[in-house]
């Protein structure tokens, strides 16, 4: 049944590809009939001409545009289908003009995607298409379902806690990978965080910079609501810690479904931050004043706090949120440290368990299912056997196979071995307290029904197997009088 389903899906894909190749490329941007209007003094003639040329060029490269899915200041994003394999991709076309293919490959966004790929939480670049006629560059990337903004927009009930935790953990992993590769994003916001089912990936690297580039950087970077204080109050003196601030704002927005600092302008943005977090200490402001020509003095204000805005927030999540939104970037948590926070403890344990199972499966990779089961049983039996042999009880359990019994036999025999130079332990059954003798000496003890036994000095005794059972053996010890002892199960 499964083979039939796969065959049927393949037939449908091939049919759709044949139909796509027969039809002319048409998108939401317009069709070829509009070319007449474009040439007749249409106010958007240049724009539409460029769009149609991009559409035709993508068609020549084997991609059919399905629909427009996004538009930004510097680019447009459309959904495309490959005419080669039938798969769907996201095509991001730059609005800026590029002179050569070499210059296109040297774009900061292209270089960043190539350096960061592959990673489970970074959007992957599939192909770069350069149009010489228009000078436009199109990036063919993997297609996701939606972004975080679309996911939470219009939602009435908060997301499940485990979903928020999973998304934030993956976002921190993407930032940790970026920062470790020497890149910081500079525009982390819900629109640039893409999701597909339970997978989160960070995209849009058009604003990224190297962590080794010297400031000052561009001042008006990042979306205002997610802009860090050092971006607002300095002349471009910020670093990769600005990504952590933006992540904290996204974290709050995912939990509360509302933006944390929705400022209408630069001054209002700073005021919104102070309303919640309070005015920073004088020493922190002094750091910002050193790189700002304009002097600023904020009146002291005690913020309302984040906990009042999300009263049902768990304590570990609130702790991580405050560390991400530290006003001083030097005190702000890093992405690597955030991954080790208590808030993500359950996810880390689950990853560790999955990694252990993966290593175990790798050991038995290529072995038949029966042998694999036998190997795992062998590992488990050895572990349980070790636990049994470390204890007092050495009886075998049903988990032990016949061969494993022979492994335990030398250890069991060692417990009852006979040494000629030591006296074995005696389990005595008397009305008084039960006393087991030490290894080499017998202490003085009191027997209630036969009187007091005199102290016996240390003396090496023969092995129990070599000890005769007749009366002649008693004459060898006639100097000492030993009371008759009750034997239990024939032993001493």
What is the end-to-end Cα distance of the chain in Å, rounded? 72
Report phi then psi at 140, rounded to 5: -90, 110
Distance CA(422)–CA(461), nearest Å, equals 7
Pairing mode, strands 193-196 and 146-147? antiparallel
* 3-state SS class at 414: helix
Instruction: Enter the CATH code of domain 51-142.
Output: 3.30.200.20
**DSSP track, 325-352:** T-SSGGGSPPHHHHHTSGGGHHHHHHHH
Name the architecture of domain 146-348.
Orthogonal Bundle (1.10)
**pLDDT tens for each residue of the chain, 492 residues long:** 444 445 455 545 555 544 544 444 443 433 333 333 333 445 455 666 667 888 899 999 999 999 999 888 888 999 999 999 999 999 999 988 999 999 999 999 999 999 999 999 999 999 999 999 889 999 999 999 999 999 999 899 999 999 999 999 999 999 999 999 999 999 999 999 999 989 999 999 999 999 999 888 887 777 899 999 999 998 889 999 999 999 999 999 999 999 999 999 999 999 999 999 999 998 898 888 766 656 778 888 999 999 999 999 999 999 999 999 999 999 999 999 999 999 999 999 999 999 898 888 877 665 554 554 544 455 444 544 454 444 444 444 343 344 444 444 444 444 444 444 444 554 545 455 555 544 445 455 444 555 555 565 555 555 555 445 555 555 554 555 556 666 555 555
pLDDT digits (tens, 9 = 90+) for 157-201: 999 999 999 999 999 999 999 999 999 999 999 999 999 989 999
Query: Binding site residues for ATP, as ranges?
Result: 92
Distance CA(405)–CA(407), nearest Å, equals 5
**What is the pLDDT, as a whole number, of residue 358?**
85
pLDDT digits (tens, 9 = 90+) for 440-475: 454 554 445 555 555 655 555 555 554 455 555 555
Kindly list the domain boundaries of the chain, sorted by start residue: 51-142, 146-348
Query: Binding site residues, as ranges?
Result: 92
Task: Reply yes or no: is the peptide bond before residue 68 cis, omega within 30 of 0.
Answer: no
Query: How buried is 62 (Cβ within 10 angstroms: 0-12 exposed, 13-18 middle, 19+ buried)?
Result: middle
List, edge to edge, every strand of the sheet that includes 75-82.
Answer: 63-71, 75-82, 88-94, 136-142, 125-131
pLDDT digits (tens, 9 = 90+) for 48-93: 666 788 889 999 999 999 999 988 888 899 999 999 999 999 999 9
Q: Among 28, 76, 187, 330, which one carries the catalytic annotation?
A: 187
Distance CA(324)–CA(134), nearest Å, equals 43
Distance CA(334)–CA(314), nearest Å, equals 21
| Distant-in-sequence, close-in-space partners of 253: CB < 8 Å, separation ≥ 6 | 148, 152, 190, 259, 260
Q: Known catalytic residue: 187? A: yes
**What is the pLDDT, as a whole number, of residue 287?**
85
Report phi then psi at 264, rounded to 5: -90, -20
């Amino acid at each position: 049944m499964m083979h039939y389903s796969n065959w049927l899906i393949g037939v449908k894909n091939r049919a759709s590809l044949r139909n796509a190749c027969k039809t002319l490329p048409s998108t939401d941007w317009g069709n070829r009939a509009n070319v007449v209007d474009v040439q007749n003094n249409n106010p958007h003639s240049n724009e539409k001409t460029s769009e149609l040329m991009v559409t035709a060029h993508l068609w020549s490269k084997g991609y059919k545009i399905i629909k427009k899915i996004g538009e930004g200041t510097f680019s447009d994003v459309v959904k495309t289908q490959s005419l080669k394999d039938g798969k769907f991709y996201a095509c991001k076309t730059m609005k800026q003009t590029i002179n050569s293919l070499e210059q296109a490959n040297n774009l900061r966004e292209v270089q960043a995607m190539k350096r960061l790929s592959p990673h489970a939480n970074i959007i992957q670049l599939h192909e770069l298409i350069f149009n010489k006629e228009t000078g436009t560059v199109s990036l063919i990337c993997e297609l996701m379902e939606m972004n975080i903004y679309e996911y939470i927009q219009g939602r009435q009930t908060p997301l499940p806690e485990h979903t928020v935790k999973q998304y934030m953990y993956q976002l921190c992993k993407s930032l940790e990978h970026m920062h470790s590769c020497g890149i910081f994003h500079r525009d982390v916001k819900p629109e640039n965080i893409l999701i597909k089912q339970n997978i989160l990936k960070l995209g849009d690297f058009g604003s990224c910079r190297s962590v080794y580039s010297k400031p000052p950087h561009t001042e008006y970077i990042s979306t205002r609501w997610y802009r860090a204080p050092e971006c607002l109050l300095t002349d471009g003196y910020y670093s990769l810690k600005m990504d952590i601030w933006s992540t904290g704002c996204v974290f709050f927005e995912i939990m509360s479904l509302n933006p944390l600092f929705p400022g209408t302008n630069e001054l209002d943005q700073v005021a919104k931050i102070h309303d919640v977090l309070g005015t920073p200490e004088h020493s922190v402001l002094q750091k910002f004043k050193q790189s700002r020509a304009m002097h600023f003095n904020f009146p002291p204000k005690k913020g309302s706090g984040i906990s009042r805005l999300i009263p049902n927030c768990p304590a570990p999540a609130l702790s991580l949120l405050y560390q991400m939104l530290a006003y001083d970037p030097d005190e702000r948590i890093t992405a690597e440290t955030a991954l080790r926070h208590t808030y993500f403890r359950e996810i880390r344990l689950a990853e560790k368990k999955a990694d252990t199972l993966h290593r175990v499966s790798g050991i038995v990779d290529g072995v038949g299912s029966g042998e694999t089961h036998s190997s795992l049983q062998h590992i488990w039996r050895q572990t349980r056997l070790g636990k049994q042999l470390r204890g007092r009880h050495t009886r075998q359990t049903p988990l032990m196979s016949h061969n494993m019994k022979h492994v335990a036999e030398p250890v069991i025999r060692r417990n009852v071995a006979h040494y000629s130079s030591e006296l074995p332990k005696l389990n005595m059954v008397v009305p008084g307290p039960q006393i087991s003798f030490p290894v080499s000496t017998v202490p003085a003890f009191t027997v209630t029904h036969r009187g007091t036994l005199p102290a016996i000095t240390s003396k090496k005794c023969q092995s129990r197997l070599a000890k005769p059972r007749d009366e002649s053996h008693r004459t060898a010890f006639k100097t000492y009088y030993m009371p008759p002892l009750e034997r239990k199960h024939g032993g001493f």
